[in-house]
């Protein structure tokens, strides 16, 4: 993958995941989820830059929902600003995730409000990029967050 990124000068998203997609939710546990993700980011950024990826082309994604428990996802959201120490944009994807359904006792098709709330909190806490399903709703929430932050 780094060869393709280097050849075409594209961005590289480094996303944290515990395990592999087929086993990531088998008893995920962290002593300190934020510290472990930061260590992962450092190791993967070093690997990428040592193989020719320009640091300014790296985006970091803590991997909400990928090998994480509800409490891990909440801690990540609360501490997004901790990942800013790397000086790279932070991408967050909370849209319609199962942790929202568990907290709000909502099936997939009823997670819009929880998603909008999580996006607003993530942007407030330092997320630079959000992956969403409802672009219109997310944009309005982010406009309000930006207005408050700029006031």
Instruction: Exactly one of 111, 131, 139, 140 is catalytic; name it.
Output: 131
Nearest CA-CA partner of 12 in 53, 58, 44: 58
Question: Please, what are the domains in the chain?
Answer: 2-150 (3.20.20.20)
pTM: 0.93
| DSSP-assigned states of every residue in 50-116 | HTT--GGGEEEE--TTSS--HHHHHHHHHTGGGGGGG-S-BEE--TT-HHHHHHHT--GGG-HHHHH
Among the options 68, 88, 97, 111, which is catalytic? 97
The percent helix, strand, coil of the chain (3-state, each to 5) is: 55, 10, 35
DSSP three-state, residue 59: strand
Judge whether 131 counts as a catalytic residue.
yes
Reply yes or no on whether 139 is catalytic.
Answer: no
Q: Tens digit of pLDDT for each residue in 76-134?
A: 999 999 999 999 999 999 999 999 999 999 999 999 999 999 999 999 999 999 999 99
Mean pLDDT for the chain?
94
């Amino acid at each position: 993958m780094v060869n393709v990124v280097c050849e075409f000068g594209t961005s590289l998203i480094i996303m944290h995941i515990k395990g592999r997609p087929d086993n990531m939710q088998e008893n995920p546990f962290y002593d300190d989820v934020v510290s472990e993700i930061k260590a992962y980011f450092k190791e993967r950024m070093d690997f990428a830059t040592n193989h020719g990826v320009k640091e300014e082309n790296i985006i970091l994604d803590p991997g909400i929902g990928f090998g994480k428990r509800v409490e891990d996802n909440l801690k990540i959201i609360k501490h997004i600003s901790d990942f800013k120490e790397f000086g790279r944009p932070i991408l967050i994807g909370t849209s319609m995730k199962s942790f929202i359904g568990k907290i709000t006792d909502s099936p997939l098709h009823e997670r819009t409000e929880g998603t909008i709330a999580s996006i607003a909190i993530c942007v407030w806490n330092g997320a630079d990029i959000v992956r969403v399903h409802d672009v219109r709703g997310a944009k309005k929430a982010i406009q309000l967050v930006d207005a408050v932050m700029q006031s």
